[in-house]
């Protein structure tokens, strides 16, 4: 790499950090020096040590485990994130110091009085109510600082609904809740703040985030980029394909699309621009690829752990079901990148500029051992918590296999601190989401909204799915993936499950089979994630635009085109769960995979306007329709789809041969 290229890359990395602070509230924290820096480090390390201790020796009682988790989290949030943007980002404000102390004490009140609270369950003393109000307010304010205002507004709307029940007409009416009952339900039970979302955060999620922090210290991120360069950097549009591959690999350990964009985009976006890609397309490639990281097994972001708890479906089964949709998503992005490169005549990098695959594998291939191990452990029946614990240990051990990759003890300590810091956003989001779920369980809003949604859709599945998609996309404009999934799975998923049960001839009010529950929840999960590349508010696309110095809206539109598979595949796996590996054997699975990949390539060609040459309008329509039919599992749809795709291909071959003959004759 030349000196000018190194300078460009360093500038891009600096720009990326500024972009991260702009679009990711979690990155906009105070940076202390001296004594306060040591205090923050000590608290964060203690937080990680507590989580590792309980993972090793056994989780505490639910309320105690979650209270300690929340106490650590609130304290760190109020110390790290200022109340106002105008306040100093290097010095602690007295107000935040007081709030940090209260953030520690409010959850600790439950621990200190745990036995008394259990004995007087159902009744609350005035002091209980005071601490309950304090705890709820502290959670809302913490969410505002780390997650954003939209999340807090939604939680406040739900709280208002709890009080306004008797005054609401129609199906959404309920008898209402008094102030004391609501506070007690939200703060002193496992139905509210300390519900399933925070429970998952205090066990599985924290450890996987910590695992990601350790992998970052071992240099796995750079290994992914180097591997992607060696494999695809030389191909047509090489740097863009490097972005797709490296972001997909990073997605196995990263739960944030914006952070993923910044992490790999600071390297890949300048490369794409140097090759000749337009800035809007370069930013879009990185955004689409990075967002898909949350769909990529084995980790899939924090929401997948919540899905396992909400559905009572083993986590290993969920990541198994996610494999085919994730493959189709990345094939769609890859194909879009390839066709754009061909259309624009863009070539790859010189092989002399690229690292050698053999050298990479020999020198640093052992760093992938923890990822292989975690997949093996999950598949063989280990709990996600134990699998993550062993993976953390293996990440350290594998780095020590060679002197060149060995991480020193100080980096282990720094990883403990970094993991705790990275977990704060999920902690705030899950605690705040618990308030929403608490209102839903107290008022029965889930079934009421499900019923309203079914009526609005006229009892038909596709309109119900469409309304669910819109809800997820709108929520995704201001609510992170974890909270988005919590809300949509609580409100919209029951409606989908009810309709699918009716179609299958089952009792819509009975417990549905996994083949109905999982597609419904996966649908909400998918659109919550894809909101990050869907204008008008597409945080991942806007982050990519910031690094590429591109127009944000044009970048978002390009990212949406690249991510087209994510808008189609969820509808298909809801209506035919074979794609999620239900009722499928080896032969039908292989056939489904082949036809689906061909279908997604055909759709990418139609959307991007290029296959072998520029596609005409009728070729695009035929190719798109054929691609959708090929993705939908079924012999009839496959045969029709093949016929339509064949028409597009024959037309393309004929036109491209004719163009070559004309060019040769001239």
Whether the CB-CB separation of 565 and 331 falls below 8 Å is answered with: yes
Q: Residue 478 has what pLDDT? A: 65
Average pLDDT estimate for 25-50? 88
Residue 210: Cβ within 10 Å count: 27
Three-state SS string over 28-75 comes to CCCCCCCHHHHHHHHHHHHHHHHHHHHHHHCCCCHHHHHHHHHHHHHH
Q: CA nearest 191: which of 468, 355, 511, 434?
A: 434
Predicted TM-score (pTM) of the model is: 0.86
Structure tokens at 113: 């009085």
Angstrom CA distances, 634 to 306, 578, 641, stand at 31, 9, 10
Helix (H) or strand (E) holding 385: helix 384-399
Exposed e or buried b per residue across 87-121, where buried means at least 16 C-beta atoms within 10 angstroms of its C-beta: eeeeebeeebeebbebbbbbbebbbebeeebeeee
pLDDT band at 6 (very low <50, low <70, confident <90, very high): low
pLDDT of residue 4 exceeding 60: no
Helical packing angle, 586-608 and 323-344, nearest 10°: 30
Query: What's the CA gap between 301 and 290, in Å, rounded?
Result: 12
Own/partner pairs, 58-63, CB within 8 angstroms, 24+ separation:
59/203, 59/385, 61/114, 62/190, 62/194, 62/199, 63/110, 63/114, 63/190, 63/194
Helix (H) or strand (E) holding 560: helix 552-562
Question: Which three-class secondary structure state does DSSP give residue 193?
Answer: coil
pLDDT at 338: 87
Residue 208 CA to residue 314 CA, distance in Å, equals: 16
* Band (532; pLDDT cuts 50, 70, 90): confident
Look up residue 3 and give its two tokens. 């000196």
Q: Which residues contact 168 (CB under 8 A, 6 or more apart)?
A: 161, 174
The 10s digit of each residue's pLDDT in 391-420 is 999 999 999 999 888 999 999 999 999 999
Are residues 31 and 89 in contact, defined by beta-carbon separation less than 8 angstroms?
A: yes
3-state secondary structure of 610: strand
What is the pLDDT at residue 645? Answer: 95
- pLDDT surpasses 60 at 5: no
For residue 474, what pLDDT is reported?
81
For 550-608, write each residue's pLDDT tens digit: 888 899 999 998 898 889 999 999 988 989 999 888 898 899 999 999 999 999 999 98
What pLDDT was estimated at residue 13? 54
CA angle, corner 340, sides to 263 and 282, nearest 5?
A: 25
Q: What percent of the chain has pLDDT over 90?
A: 40
Transcribe 481-532 into DSSP letters: HHHHHHHHHHHTHHHHHHHHHHHTTS-TTSPPPHHHHHHHHHHHHHHHHHGG
- Predicted confidence at residue 637, as pLDDT, reads 93
Instruction: Report the C-alpha gap between 456 and 471 in whole angstroms.
Output: 13
pLDDT of residue 254: 61
- pLDDT of 107 reads 97
* pLDDT band, very low/low/confident/very high, at 253 (cuts 50, 70, 90): low
Cβ atoms < 10 Å from Cβ of 357: 14
pLDDT class for 94, splitting at 50, 70, 90? Answer: very high
- Average pLDDT of the chain to the nearest whole number: 87
How far is 536 from 629, CA to CA, in rounded Å? 29
Is a pLDDT exceeding 80 seen at residue 190? yes
The DSSP result for 457-469, as a single string, is TTT-HHHHHHHHH
CA 468 to chain centre: 18
Q: pLDDT grade, residue 255 (50/70/90)?
A: low
pLDDT over threshold 70, residue 14:
no
Residue 535 has pLDDT above 70, yes or no: yes
- Better-predicted residue by pLDDT, 5 or 512: 512
The pLDDT tens digits for 352-398 are 777 888 888 889 889 999 988 988 888 888 888 899 999 999 999 99
Asked if 239 and 268 count as a contact pair (C-beta separation under 8 A), the reply is yes
Contact 511, 479 (CB under 8 A): no
Running DSSP on this structure, what letter comes out for residue 577?
A: G
Mean pLDDT of 41-65: 95
Question: Among residues of the chain, what percentage have pLDDT more than 70?
Answer: 95
Q: What is the mean pLDDT of residues 633-642?
A: 92
Q: Which residues contact 356 (CB under 8 A, 6 or more apart)?
A: 230
Give the distance between the most distant pair of CA atoms in the chain: 93
pLDDT-based confidence at 38, cuts 50/70/90? very high
Q: Is the pLDDT score of 188 beyond 80?
A: yes
DSSP notation for 528-545: HHHGGGSTTS-HHHHHHH
CA distance linking residue 33 with residue 286, whole number of Å: 34
What residues have CB less than 8 Å from 47, skipping those under 6 apart? 72, 73, 76, 420, 423
Q: Please determine, for residue 257, whether its predicted confidence score (pLDDT) is greater than 90.
A: no
Distance, in Å, from the CA atom of 256 to the CA atom of 301, rounded to the nearest integer, reads 7
Packing angle of the helix pair 564-575, 586-608 (nearest 10 deg): 140
- Residue 442 or 232, more confident: 442
Indicate the angle between helix axes 384-399 and 35-57, nearest 10 degrees.
Answer: 120
- Give the pLDDT band of residue 275 (cuts 50, 70, 90): confident
Residue indicated by tokens 């889930």? 446
Lookup result for tokens 């944000």: 552
Separation of alpha carbons 103 and 79, rounded Å: 10
Question: Which 3 state secondary structure label does DSSP give 177?
Answer: coil
Cβ(62)–Cβ(6) under 8 Å?
no
Q: Report pLDDT digits (tens) over 464-487.
A: 889 888 888 887 776 777 787 888
pLDDT of residue 643: 96
Q: Residue 92: is its pLDDT beyond 80?
A: yes
User: How confident is the model over 114-122, as a mean pLDDT?
Assistant: 85
d(CA 239, CA 268): 6
- pLDDT of 177 reads 87
């Amino acid at each position: 790499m030349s000196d000018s290229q190194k300078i460009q890359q360093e500038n891009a990395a600096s720009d990326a950090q500024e972009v991260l602070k702009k679009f990711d509230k979690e990155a906009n924290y105070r940076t202390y020096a001296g004594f306060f820096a040591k205090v923050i480090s000590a608290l964060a390390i203690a937080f990680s040590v507590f989580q590792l201790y309980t993972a090793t020796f056994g989780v505490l009682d639910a309320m105690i485990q979650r209270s300690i988790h929340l106490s650590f989290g609130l304290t760190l949030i109020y110390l790290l994130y200022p109340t106002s943007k105008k306040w100093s980002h290097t010095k602690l404000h007295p107000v935040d110091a007081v709030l940090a102390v209260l953030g520690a004490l409010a959850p600790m009140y439950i621990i200190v009085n745990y036995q008394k609270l259990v004995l007087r369950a159902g009744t609350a003393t005035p002091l209980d109510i005071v601490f309950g109000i304090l705890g709820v307010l502290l959670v809302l304010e913490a969410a505002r600082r780390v997650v954003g205002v939209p999340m807090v507004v939604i939680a406040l709307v739900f709280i208002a609904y709890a009080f306004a029940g008797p005054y609401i007409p129609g199906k959404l009416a309920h008898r209402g809740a008094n102030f004391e009952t609501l506070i007690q339900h939200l703060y002193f039970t496992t139905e509210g703040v300390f519900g399933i979302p925070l429970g998952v955060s205090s066990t599985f999620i924290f450890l996987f985030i910590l695992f990601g922090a350790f992998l970052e210290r071992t240099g796995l991120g750079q290994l992914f980029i180097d591997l992607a360069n060696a494999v695809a950097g030389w191909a047509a549009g090489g740097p863009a394909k490097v972005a797709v591959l490296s972001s997909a690999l990073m997605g196995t350990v990263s739960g944030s699309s914006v952070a993923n964009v910044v992490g790999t985009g600071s390297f890949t976006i300048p490369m794409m621009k140097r090759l000749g890609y337009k800035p809007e397309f370069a930013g879009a490639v990185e955004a689409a690829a990075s967002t898909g990281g949350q769909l990529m097994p084995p980790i899939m972001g924090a929401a997948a752990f919540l899905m396992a708890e909400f559905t009572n479906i083993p986590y290993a089964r969920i990541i198994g079901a996610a494999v085919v949709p994730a493959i189709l998503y990345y094939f769609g992005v890859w194909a879009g990148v390839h066709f754009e490169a061909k259309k624009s005549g863009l070539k790859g990098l010189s092989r002399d500029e690229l690292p050698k695959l053999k050298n990479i594998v020999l020198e640093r291939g052992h760093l992938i051992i923890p990822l292989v191990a975690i997949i093996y452990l999950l598949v063989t029946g280990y709990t996600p918590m134990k699998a993550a614990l062993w993976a953390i240990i293996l990440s350290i051990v594998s780095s020590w296999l060679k002197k060149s990759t060995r991480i020193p003890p100080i980096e282990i300590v720094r990883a403990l601190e970094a993991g705790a810091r990275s977990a704060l956003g999920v902690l705030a989001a899950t605690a705040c989401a618990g308030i929403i779920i608490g209102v839903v369980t107290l008022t029965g809003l889930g079934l009421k909204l499900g019923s309203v949604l079914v009526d609005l859709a006229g009892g038909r599945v596709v309109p119900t799915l469409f309304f669910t998609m819109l809800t997820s996309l709108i929520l995704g404009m201001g609510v992170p993936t974890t909270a988005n999934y919590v809300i949509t799975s609580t409100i919209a998923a029951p409606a989908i499950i009810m309709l699918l049960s009716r179609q299958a001839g089952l009792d819509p009010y009975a417990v549905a089979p996994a083949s109905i529950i999982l597609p419904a929840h996966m649908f909400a999960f998918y659109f919550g994630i894809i909101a990050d590349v869907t204008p008008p508010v597409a945080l991942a696309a806007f982050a990519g635009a910031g690094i590429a110095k591109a127009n944000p809206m044009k970048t978002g539109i390009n990212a949406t085109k690249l991510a087209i598979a994510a808008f189609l595949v969820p509808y298909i796996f809801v209506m035919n769960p074979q794609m999620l590996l239900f009722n499928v054997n080896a032969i039908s699975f292989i056939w489904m995979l082949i036809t689906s990949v061909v279908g997604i390539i055909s759709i990418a060609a139609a959307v991007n306007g290029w296959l072998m040459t520029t596609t005409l309008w009728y070729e695009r329509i035929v190719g798109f329709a054929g691609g959708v039919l090929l993705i939908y599992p079924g012999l009839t749809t496959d045969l029709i789809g093949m016929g339509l795709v064949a028409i597009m291909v024959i037309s393309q071959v004929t036109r491209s041969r004719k163009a070559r003959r004309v060019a040769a004759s001239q």
